[in-house]
Chain A
Amino acid sequence: MALLSIEDVCVSYGKAEAVRHVSLKVERGQIVTVIGPNGAGKTSLLTTAIGMIPSTGVIKCDGQDITRLDTESRVEMGFCLVPERRELFAEMSVHDNLRLGAYSRRDGKAAIQQSMDEVFARFPRLKERLSQHAGTLSGGERQMLALGRALMAKPKLLMLDEPSLGLAPLITREIFRIIASLRELGVSILLIEQNARAALETADFGYVMEVGEIVHSGPAATLIDDPRLISTYLGGGAD
C-alpha cells in the first residue's frame, strides 16, 4: 500500500485552477520527484498534501483517508514539508529550531537528543552554529537547517519544495547528495524541483507537471533519457 496516494486532486484559487485532477503515489522508501516549469502547480500540490490549502479529491496515507485532517494532525502522522521559503524561526537559535522540529514527537528527551546528534553528524556546520540565530545563517546553511529541522521530526514522508532554489551550484550538489543519502534512513521523499536533471538523477520515479496537470510519468531512469523531456527540461545541461 502506498505511503502517500493522491487521487484526482484539484486545487483552485478562486476561478484559477492551479492543480487539475492530479493523481500520484509515493511508495515506502521511494524518492519521487515532480518536475515542471514555474507555475505548473507543483507547490500547490505539496501545500495541499500537507493540508495547508483545501482541495477536492482524496489524499490517503497508508490507505487511510486523511483529506479532512488538518496540517498538524498530518505532521503527527509523520508528514513533513520543507517549503520553498524554508519558514525557519529567524529570531531563534539553531538549537531551538532543531528542538522545535521534534515538537510533535513524544518519545522522550534521550531519543530527541540522539536525533539531534544524527543531524549534527549529517550537517557538521549546524553544530558550529548552534547558538546562532537562524536569521544570520547563509543561504546554504539555512537550507541545511531546514532539512535538519525536518529530520528531527523523524518523518515517514519528507516533502521538499525546491531545495536547491537560490543556492550556489556547489551547495546544490551537496544538498542533492544529502537527499540521496536519506534513502538509507528509510524515509520516503516527495521532491519538487525545477532543476530537473539533478532531481531525476536522485529519484526513483518521476512525474512531469504542466499547467496543473501531470503530462508524463515513469521511472526516473527512463524519463531522463526521454527525448521529449530532454528538449524541454533537460536540454540546457542543467546543474
Chain B
Amino acid sequence: MNSQIAAILTIDGIASGAIYVLIAIGFVLIFAVTRIIFVPFGDVTAFTALTLASLEGKQLPGTIGMVAVLAALATLMEIFGLWRADELKRIPRALFFYLVLPLAPAAVIWLTSGTLLPAAARIVLTVAVILPIAPLLNRIVYRPIADSTVLVLLIVSVALHFALSGLGLLFFGPEGVRTESLIDYTAIIAGTPVSGQAMLIVASAIFFSFLLYLFFNYTLYGKALYATSINRTGARLMGIRPQQSGTIAFLVGSLMAAASGILIAPVNTIFYDSGFIIGLKAFVGAIIGGMVSFPVTAIGSAFVGILESFAAFLSSQFKEVIVFSVLIPVLLWRSYTLVHAEEEDDE
C-alpha cells in the first residue's frame, strides 16, 4: 500500500463513516430520551433508499402501504387510550397528528404517481414519507411498554427489526437498488481524487450534527428533550411529557436516518435487508460514544468507516469480522475506564 492508496481509502472511509455518524447520533438521541436501543433504525435508512429508487422508477413505493397501516394502528390505539382516560376532547388533535399528518406525504406521492418529479421534489417527498415510520412504531410498539427495563425494550427492538425486514421484502421485493448520483463532480486534492458525493456526505453529517447542537442548546423543545434524558421524573414534574419527548427524539432521529439513506443510495446497492448491517456498524460507533456522548459517537463512527475501508482493501472477506471485532476491546476499555451510569432508579 502506498500513500496514495491510503489517502483514497481514508477518504472513502470518512465518507462511509459520515453515513454511520448520522445513524449513530440518532441511536444515541433515541436511547438517551427513551432508553430504547432502536435496532430497526438501519431499516429506516434502507427504506429511504428503496423509496427514493421507486420514485425514480416512477413506481409507487411500498412505503405508502406501510405508513398507512402504521398510521391506522396508531390512531386506533390513541383514540382507545383517550376514550379510556375520558379525554374525548383531545381526539381531533390525535387524528391530526396520528392520521392526517403522517398520511399527507403518502397521499401526495400516491396522487403524483406515474409522473417523474424533479430530483429535489423526490428527495423531499421521500424524507417526508419516511419520517413518520419510527414515531408511529414508537406509539404502537414501545409506548405501551415504556416503563419496562432496557433489556425488554431491546428484545422488542430486535423482534421489531425482523418484522420490519419481512415487511420490507413484502413491500419492496428482493431486488437491490441504486439511485442516480446526486452530484457528478470529482475534485483532485493533492493528487487524490475526491468525489463530490463523498464531500456531500461529509458536509451533510457536519450540517445535521450542527443542527442538532443548535436544537439542544437554543430551543425549548431541545432543552426539554435533554431534560427528559437526564431526569425523567424531574421533567414530568415540569409538565414535559416523556411520550412527547420520545416522539420528537424519534422524529429527529428519523430525519438523520433518512438523510443517510438518501446519501448512501447512489454509492451502495441497497436491498430490503441492508439496513441491519449499516445500523450495526453505526451502533459500534454509538457504543464507542458510550451511548451518551454525541461528539465521541461521531468520532467513533468515523473511525468505524475508516477501519472498514482499510479492512476491505487488505482482506475483503474479513471486512465485517475486523469491524465487529473492534467492539470487544472497545467494550473492555469502556468498562474499565468509565464510571458506570446507574440505571435510572424508579423513585
Which A residues are within 8 Å of any B CB, using their own CB? 47, 50, 52, 68, 70-72, 75-76, 80-81, 83, 87-92, 96, 99-101, 103-104, 149, 153
Contacts and interface: CB of A to CB of B under 8 A. Distances in A.
A52 B234 contact: no
B316 interface: no
A92 B231 CA distance: 11
A83 B237 contact: yes
A103 B230 contact: no
A92 B230 contact: yes
Contacts of A76: 239
26 contacts: A47-B347, A50-B237, A52-B236, A52-B347, A71-B236, A72-B239, A75-B236, A80-B237, A89-B226, A89-B227, A90-B230, A91-B230, A92-B230, A96-B223, A96-B227, A100-B220, A100-B223, A100-B224, A100-B227, A100-B240, A101-B238, A103-B224, A103-B238, A103-B240, A149-B238, A153-B239
A89 B246 CA distance: 18
A75 B230 contact: no
A89 B226 CA distance: 9
A87 B234 contact: yes
B85 interface: yes
B319 interface: no
Given A87-B233, A103-B239, A153-B239, 12 more contacts: A52-B347, A71-B236, A88-B231, A88-B234, A89-B227, A90-B231, A92-B226, A100-B220, A100-B223, A100-B227, A103-B220, A103-B224
Interface in B241-256: 241
Given A96-B223, A100-B223, A100-B227, A72 B233 contact: no
A72 B236 contact: yes
Nearest to B226: A92
A176 B85 CA distance: 39
Interface of B: 85-86, 220, 223-224, 226-227, 230-231, 233-241, 347
B205 to A, nearest CB: 25
Contacts of B233: 52, 83, 87
A71 B347 CA distance: 15
A153 B238 contact: yes
A189 to B, nearest CB: 16
Most chain B CB inside 10 Å of its own CB: which residue of A52, A72, A149:
A72
Kindly list the 5 A-B residue pairs having the minimum CB-CB distance in the complex, ordered from nearest. Answer: A104-B239, A87-B234, A75-B239, A103-B238, A72-B241
A87 B236 CA distance: 10
Contacts of B224: 100, 103
Contact of A68 (B85, B227, B234): B85
A87 B237 contact: yes
A47 B238 CA distance: 14
B227 to A, nearest CB: 5
Most chain A CB inside 10 Å of its own CB: which residue of B220, B226, B227, B241:
B227
A81 B227 CA distance: 17
Nearest to A102: B238
Most chain B CB inside 10 Å of its own CB: which residue of A50, A68, A103, A153:
A103
A89 B237 contact: no
Nearest to A112: B220
Nearest to B236: A71
Contacts of B230: 89-92
Contacts of B240: 72, 100, 103
Contacts of B347: 47, 52
B346 to A, nearest CB: 11
Contacts of B237: 50, 71, 75, 80-81, 83, 87
Contacts of B220: 99-100, 103
A146 to B, nearest CB: 9
A100 B245 CA distance: 13
B223 A99 contact: yes
Most chain A CB inside 10 Å of its own CB: which residue of B227, B238, B241:
B238
Contacts of A91: 230
B227 A92 contact: yes
Contacts of A96: 223, 227
A92 B233 CA distance: 15
A100 B347 CA distance: 21
A87 B227 contact: no
Contacts of A71: 236-237
Contacts of A70: 85
A52 B347 CA distance: 10
A83 B347 CA distance: 11
B229 to A, nearest CB: 9
B236 A89 contact: no
Contacts of A52: 233, 236, 347
Contacts of A101: 238
Contacts of B227: 89, 92, 96, 100
A97 B7 CA distance: 47
A47 to B, nearest CB: 8
Given A92-B230, A100-B224, A75 B238 contact: yes
A9 to B, nearest CB: 18
A72 B234 CA distance: 11
